[in-house]
Amino acid sequence: MIDPAPIYDAATAFWKSAVLFAACRLGVFDALEEAAGAAALAQRLGLSEHGTAALLDACVAMGLIEKAGDTYRNTPAGDRYLTSRSPESLLVTLELQAATYPMWMRLAEAVRDGQPAIAPADLLGGDPELTRQFVVGMHQRALGTAGALMDAVDLTGHRVLADIGGGPGTYSMLMLQRYPGLRARIMDLAPILEVARTLVASSGVGDRIEMVPCDVTADDLGNGFDAALVSGLLHRMTAETSRSILRKVYAGMAPGGLIAVNDLFIVAGGPTMALLFGLQMLLTNETGGAHEASDVASWLAQAGFVDVKITPLFPHTVVIARKAAAIRA
């Protein structure tokens, strides 16, 4: 018999997402910072007892909540990532995912027509609340993956980091906290930076950060920087626009500088997350998609960078290169 389980698993995968989103929206994880039974929790949150018990048991089966006898409590991961009081909370980014779920029901139309399911400008300032969720969501996701990137990109001795399309500026803030002698320029669209200012202001390193409103696809990126980060940007761009951005980075970078390009790139046909993310880009803008890491490496070399290296940081991949030092006469 040919096993149909993968088909059923794919067909019902959204059930698990719905359970997670519902539990977050109803405040279940905040309420379970202290253990409680289903009846007590339902009363506390104003929910039906029957529905609450069913939702809690589904969360237990998914590994989101622990159960001992008739008492429920958060897992350590739930406390860390699913409660509003945690500094590592993912609630905003999960709410954004929940809000964008309906567009996935239009995937067939997007594949057929090649047109996004939502107005791309809404995420980039057109809808202020959606833009806020988008930027804060990026910040929360970046905090969860920053450790691997920070370890892979050594900025010892560098003076100025250009964060190209830097969004919330999360990586810049963390880099400046690690390297006291480093300064940063966060370059992005003005509505994105307006949200990022609040995050930068509470970082403790805001005095070393310059916010530069610009369209990195069209504007000059300036010069005087000896390190550059291009993170979570190229997936919104065509190959040609990506090459153009990397050429501008090379032109403005000081000799001996380092560039790190970080994204959900495809490496050897995976990871699955990168391939699915490519479809999300199809749904949210006209030009984006998941690029091959090997293509990005080639674009860097074509721009003039040397010592190009691809480093998987599952699910992300970072491509690191440098600009050759000036030759002394």
Residue 213 sits at φ, ψ, to 5 deg, of -65, 125
Q: Are 28 and 41 in contact (CB under 8 A)?
A: yes
Taking 60 as the threshold, does the pLDDT of residue 329 lie above it?
no
**pLDDT confidence bin for 101, thresholds 50/70/90:** confident
Please tell me the number of Cα atoms within 13 Å of 252 on its side-chain side: 23
Q: What integer best gives the mean pLDDT of the chain?
A: 93
Give the helix ranges, DSSP H, for the chain: 5-11, 13-25, 28-31, 38-45, 49-61, 76-81, 91-104, 107-113, 128-152, 170-178, 190-201, 239-252, 272-284, 293-303
Per-residue pLDDT, averaged over 140-164, amounts to: 91
pLDDT > 70: percent of the chain: 99
Would you place residue 32 in the very low, low, confident or very high pLDDT band (cuts 50, 70, 90)?
Answer: very high
pLDDT digits (tens, 9 = 90+) for 43-61: 999 999 999 999 999 999 9
Point out the least confidently predicted range of 25-39, 127-141, 193-207, 292-306: 127-141
Residue whose structure tokens are 């980060």: 229
Q: Is residue 325 predicted with pLDDT exceeding 60? A: yes
Residue 1's pLDDT is: 84
pLDDT score for 288: 82
SS3 state of residue 72? strand
CB 278 within 8 A of CB 254: no
- The amino acid sitting at 308 is V
CA distances from 252 to 160, 219, 245 (A): 12, 12, 11
Q: Across residues 266-292, what is the average pLDDT?
A: 90
Q: State mean pLDDT over 200-204.
A: 92
* Range of 8-17, 87-96, 132-141 with top mean pLDDT: 8-17
Token pair 């399911």 in the structure block, residue: 117
Answer for the pair 318, 153: CB distance below 8 angstroms, yes or no.
yes
* 75 has pLDDT over 90: yes
Averaged pLDDT for residues 151-156: 95
Taking the C-alpha atoms of residue 296 and residue 230, their distance in angstroms, rounded to an integer, is 11
Task: Please give the single-letter amino acid code of residue 42.
Answer: A
Summarize pLDDT for 179-195 with one digit per residue, the tens: 999 999 999 999 999 99
Please tell me the predicted confidence (pLDDT) of residue 180. 95
Higher per-residue pLDDT: 262 or 123? 262
Distance separating the N- and C-terminal Cα atoms of the chain: 74
Return the CATH number of 5-83, one of 3.40.640.10, 1.10.287.70, 1.10.10.10, 3.40.50.1100: 1.10.10.10
Which 3 state secondary structure label does DSSP give 182?
A: coil
CATH T-level assignment (fold) for domain 141-322: Rossmann fold (3.40.50)
Percent of the chain with pLDDT over 90: 78
Contacts of 176 (CB under 8 A, 6+ apart): 161, 182, 183, 184, 203, 205, 208, 209
- Apex CA 207: angle with CA 205 and CA 210, to 5°? 100
**261 pLDDT more than 60:** yes
Residue 328: predicted pLDDT: 57
> pLDDT per residue over 159-169, tens digit each?
999 999 999 99
Per-residue confidence (pLDDT) for residue 246, from 0 to 100:
98
- Structural domain boundaries of the chain? 5-83, 141-322
pLDDT tens per residue, range 233-246 = 999 999 999 999 99
Mean pLDDT of 86-92: 90
Distances, alpha carbon 225 to alpha carbons 35, 75, 219, 221, 327, in Å: 51, 44, 16, 10, 18
**Mean pLDDT score, 202-214:** 95
Question: pLDDT tens across 284-316, in order?
Answer: 888 888 999 999 999 999 999 999 999 998 889
Say how far apart CA 6 and CA 40 lie, in whole Å. 38
